[in-house]
């Protein structure tokens, strides 16, 4: 089940990850992933949220979202990457990601995870289109989209309020026929494992 990348592996979002939720939810990573919310949330309310999601998920059947933990090759939990809001009848699904520790941003981890989940969504879930939303100031996501061949499909004006300033919402889409496959993309982007980490996890 585990998907192995060059810098990260996709694994179940289990206890090791959940233990870090409180830190991640209360820091800037949640601000960026939510498009401007400043969560100030306790462990207990995070647990309640998780319980509620789990309950809802059970009733949702094939449209239920899928969440992976993203971990570094040394086993360090970094965050999540998800496929949400699956519409099997339109073969459409939305992606989402959050690397919790800002120290890991911009290091290629997110893109490595993205390539894995795109391959999974097309190859295993038989999706035909993937899309995602971000804000017009999220340069990391915008760069990622550009690198991986997503098209900017819509700009929703003033759809996000971030620290008192209105920004646009951006919607990106990738059709299956536009995806050359993960191997081709790894090559095109020249992605490589970090020195001393040849793709095998220590945990």
Q: Which residues bind another protein (CB under 8 A)?
A: 36-37, 87, 89-92, 128-129, 131, 151-161, 171, 173, 175
Q: 81-85 long-range CB contacts below 8 Å, 24 or more apart?
A: 81/10, 81/110, 81/113, 81/114, 81/116, 81/117, 83/117, 83/120, 83/121, 83/125, 83/127, 83/130
Under the binding rule (CB under 6 A), the answer on residue 188 touching ligand COA is: no
- Cβ 30 to another protein shortest distance, Å: 13
138 binds, among ligand COA, another protein, none (CB under 5 to 8 A by kind): ligand COA
The 10 Å Cβ neighbour count of residue 181 is 13
Q: Considering only the stretches 14-22, 38-46, 61-69, 101-109, report the one whose residues sit in contact with ligand COA under the rule CB under 6 A.
A: 101-109
Q: Which of 38, 43, 52, 143 binds ligand COA (CB under 6 A)?
A: 143
CB of 64 to ligand COA, least distance (A): 20
165 binds, among another protein, ligand COA, none (CB under 5 to 8 A by kind): none
E strand or H helix at 47, and its extent? Answer: helix 43-60
DSSP assignment letter at 201: -
> 30: part of which helix (H) or strand (E)?
helix 28-33
CB distance 178 to 149 below 8 Å: yes
Residue 106 partner contact from ligand COA, another protein, none using kind-dependent CB cut-offs of 5 to 8 Å:
ligand COA
Query: Would you say 78 and 100 are in contact if contact means Cβ atoms under 8 Å apart?
Result: yes
CA distances, 65 to each of 33, 68, 87 (Å): 17, 10, 10
The option from another protein, ligand COA, none interacting with 175 (CB < 5 to 8 A, set by class) reads: another protein
* Contacted entry of another protein, ligand COA, none for residue 141, CB cut-off 5 to 8 Å set by kind: ligand COA
In the bound complex, what is the minimum distance in angstroms from residue 89's beta carbon to ligand COA?
25
Chain residues binding ligand COA by CB under 6 A are 29, 32-33, 79, 97-99, 105-111, 134, 138-141, 143-144, 147
């Amino acid at each position: 089940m585990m998907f192995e990348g060059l810098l990260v592996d996709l694994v179940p979002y289990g206890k090791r990850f959940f233990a870090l939720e409180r830190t991640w939810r209360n820091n800037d990573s949640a601000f960026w992933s939510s498009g401007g919310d400043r969560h100030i949330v306790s462990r207990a309310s995070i647990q309640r949220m998780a319980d509620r999601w789990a309950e809802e998920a059970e009733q949702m059947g094939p449209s239920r979202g899928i969440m992976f933990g993203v971990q570094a090759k040394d086993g360090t939990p970094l965050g999540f990457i998800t496929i949400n809001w699956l519409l099997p009848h339109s073969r459409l699904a939305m992606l989402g990601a959050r690397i919790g520790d800002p120290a890991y941003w911009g290091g290629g981890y997110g893109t490595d995870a993205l390539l894995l989940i795109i391959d999974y969504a097309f190859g295993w879930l038989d999706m035909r289109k993937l899309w995602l939303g971000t804000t017009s100031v999220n340069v990391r996501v915008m760069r990622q989209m550009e690198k991986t061949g997503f098209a900017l499909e819509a700009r929703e004006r003033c759809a996000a309020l971030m620290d008192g300033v209105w920004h646009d919402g951006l919607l990106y889409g990738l059709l299956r026929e536009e995806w050359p496959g993960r191997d081709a993309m790894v090559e095109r982007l020249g992605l490589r494992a970090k020195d001393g980490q040849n793709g095998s996890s220590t945990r």
